[in-house]
Amino acid sequence: MGSTGSIGTQALEVIASHRDKLAVEVLTAYNNVDLLIDQAITFRPNVVVIGNEDKYSYVLEALDPHDIKVYAGHKAIAGVVSMDTIDLILTALVGYAGLHPTIEAIKAGKDIALANKETLVVAGELIMTLAAEKGIHIYPVDSEHSAIYQCLVGEFHNPIEKIILTASGGPFRGKNPAYLQNVTKEQALRHPNWDMGPKVTIDSATLMNKGLEIIEAKWLFGLDPEQVEVVVHPQSIIHSIVQFVDGSMKAQMGLPDMRIPIQFALSYPRRFKSDFPRFNFLDYPELTFEKPDTEVFRSLGLAYESLHRGGNIPCVMNAANEVAVDAFLNDHIGFLEIADIVETCMAKLPFISSPQYSDYVATNKETRIKAAELIN
């Protein structure tokens, strides 16, 4: 799900290198029809779904000669996940859009390779409870959570004292609010280490991405908020660390290349051979670490706040952030206003302590309306 985005295209690179072990059954995308068609012709899935129903005829005409079934719309995306021929679903949709199809996939008993952190940010308790009931596995694809997962292999019976999520610091590490007041989207999109889509790249610049990862980690690994720590590590070589109750620590390391955690999720419990570039310690004589500045990068602090408040507040935070980031990318607001909008929405929207799925849907909708009002 989300085959034309950054994660989706890199996942297909991994699959192309292991055609004897992996096959594509379904591809979905929302709007990028030409790339979706090219991918379908190359990988020959059974089914393709285009989210934008206006593009259905175009995709159908292109793929009909190749005997590939074509469907359209959000309901179709949520519906195809139950196909009997699917073993594993890579959820690489961006933002809140990944929640409903992921729920449907879990209900259908499909294991999930999860690259959509917002699914757990918005409805972590619902998702993990449902996954436990259905007995399915969730394999994290984010590099930090994949690192934690890898560190825990063989250690699941040993208590965790804490985990340390590393952050690059983004393109504005060390900058002050006066500098950030006038930064452009072009500057914000120049991430120093990772190649990601625009939304995730802006989240990395505000450090909201790390905030979302804190909440994701809490649910994935059953932790208290106090057990999740963030350290800025500009080189992005140590992807994250687990500290156990005896004081020992495990770190997972490697060059910043998303194909590695993608391949790990697709191949687990095996490790497929790859020709990805290898890390050399002599190329990195210094690995450095810093405390994140939550006063300058307020989004990280807001994420911690939402985690402590719980209920539907992380859903509010996520929806407000998605609207604000989109507004920034379209030159409607400044960089620092992203956090302003998120903070205001978190203060104004009604709190629900034990939300159900319908509450998440309503909260997401109401927050987007409120955020749009603040922008306009």
Is pLDDT above 90 for 95?
Answer: no
Do 6-140 and 310-376 have matching folds? no
Percentage of residues in the chain having pLDDT higher than 90: 93
Please check whether residue 246 is in contact with residue 154, taking contact to mean a CB–CB distance below 8 angstroms.
Answer: no
pTM: 0.93
Report whether CATH 3.10.310.30 matches the domain 310-376.
no
**Domain spans, the chain:** 6-140, 145-257+278-305, 310-376
Please check whether residue 299 is in contact with residue 208, taking contact to mean a CB–CB distance below 8 angstroms.
Answer: yes
Residue range 125-136: mean pLDDT, rounded? 96
Residue range 322-345: mean pLDDT, rounded? 97
Residue range 296-319: mean pLDDT, rounded? 96
Q: Which of 17-31, 32-46, 179-193 has the lowest mean pLDDT?
A: 179-193
Q: What is the mean pLDDT of the chain?
A: 95
Residue range 253-264: mean pLDDT, rounded? 96
Q: Closest by alpha carbon to 339, among 327, 351, 352?
A: 327
Beta strands in the chain (DSSP E): 26-29, 47-50, 69-72, 88-91, 111-114, 138-140, 160-167, 228-232, 238-244, 249-253
Per-residue pLDDT band at 78 (split at 50, 70, 90): confident
Residue range 217-233: mean pLDDT, rounded? 96
Alpha carbon distance 68, 41 (integer Å): 9
Per-residue pLDDT band at 120 (split at 50, 70, 90): very high
Residue range 63-85: mean pLDDT, rounded? 94
Bridge partners, 50 (sequence order): 29, 72
pLDDT of residue 196: 76
Per-residue pLDDT band at 109 (split at 50, 70, 90): very high
pLDDT of residue 97: 86
Residue range 264-276: mean pLDDT, rounded? 96
Q: 3.20.20.140, 3.90.76.10, 3.30.420.10, 3.40.50.720: which CATH number matches 6-140? A: 3.40.50.720
Alpha carbon distance 88, 351 (integer Å): 35
pLDDT of residue 205: 94
pLDDT of residue 195: 72
Per-residue pLDDT band at 28 (split at 50, 70, 90): very high
Is pLDDT above 80 for 193?
Answer: no
Is pLDDT above 80 for 330?
Answer: yes
Q: Which residues make Cβ contacts (< 8 Å) with residue 330, sequence separation at least 6?
A: none
Residue range 85-99: mean pLDDT, rounded? 92
